[in-house]
Amino acid sequence: MSTLIIIFCVLSPLLILWLTSKFKVLNKVGSIIVAYVIGCLLGLTGLIPDTPEMHAAQTAVATYAIPFAIPLLLFSSDIRSWARLAPAFIKSTIFGILGCAMAITLGFLLCGRTNPQLYANIGGMLTGLYTGGNANLASLKMALGVDDATYILISAYSTLMSAVYLFFCHYRR
């Protein structure tokens, strides 16, 4: 069964990209949202059993996919356009770093006294998430030795809060 999960995790992005290229509605929704919906449906319906074997298979996929994905992200970037985009990028990066640092410091001061090591790890993982996305979050989870439940909660809350934020940004117009 775990072999099937690994094959599914490797081949499902190809299926999602094919579906978004064939169906206009899915193309408008976007491949990332389709992937989240499929993942939520599989996770919430119980089609993927909650067994140690499945956890091991999912961890194996994440362990090998993340180091492979980061160079692929860099290969697709247009390095020549960086010089043209640099002033706006630098300004937004500075504001992003300051906002992230203030939010994490405030969260640590409010909640970190109960378990300083856990909240320091959460702060580090959130910094990675907000500066480099889920690939950084997963890498820091492995590097810091954070348990799976904490990692999933951080990712889920971040996704939920980002969805609310984007919803209000979209409908503000």
pLDDT digits (tens, 9 = 90+) for 99-130: 888 888 888 888 877 888 888 888 889 888 88
CA dist., res. 169 & res. 173, Å (int)? 8
Q: How far is CA 38 from CA 33, 45, 90, 138, 142, in A?
A: 9, 11, 36, 20, 25
DSSP letter at 51 equals S
The predicted model scores a pTM of: 0.54
CA dist., res. 72 & res. 159, Å (int)? 23
In 3D space, the residue among 73, 158, 68 whose CA is nearest the CA of residue 122 turns out to be 158
pLDDT digits (tens, 9 = 90+) for 139-160: 899 889 999 889 988 888 888 8
In 3D space, the residue among 73, 49, 81 whose CA is nearest the CA of residue 139 turns out to be 73
